[in-house]
Amino acid sequence: MTARIYEAKSFLTRGRNTLAGNRFPNSSEALQFVNTLYDNGATKVTVPNVANFKSEDEMYADTVIVKLPSDTKKRRVLFETYNKELLSEGFEAKDDRGQKEITLWWD
């Protein structure tokens, strides 16, 4: 079975899909977060590991993958957001080591 990956804004504006319900109380707040990632320079934000609840219009995911830009200022802002989320989940902050992407996961 092939894993489905969705562009994050498309995922969140489709039906009753939910992203990290323990972090975002509703899809509107999750969408605001994704829009902020794009505004801060993310070149693409995707949602992998999607689980169907009842249908294609009622799915759940707890992870986003953020494709990083090459611009160092934009990367710095995205890493600030990334590290804030990591620390809030009990993980250690990470350094920018030239990664092409970062993964945000909420448990």
Q: Tell me the pLDDT tens digit for each residue of 45-82.
A: 999 978 776 666 678 889 999 999 999 999 999 999 99
pLDDT of residue 1: 41
Mean pLDDT score, 9-19: 88
Q: What is the pLDDT of residue 53?
A: 66
To the nearest whole percent, how much of the chain has pLDDT over 70?
Answer: 93
Helical pair 27-39 and 72-88, crossing angle rounded to 10 deg: 150
| Per-residue pLDDT at 98 | 96
Q: For the chain, what is the mean pLDDT? A: 91
> What is the per-residue pLDDT for 14?
85
pTM: 0.90
Q: How far apart are CA 11 and CA 31, in angstroms?
A: 9
| pLDDT for the residue numbered 5 | 87
Q: Can you point out the beta strands (E) in 48-88? A: 51-55, 58-61, 63-67
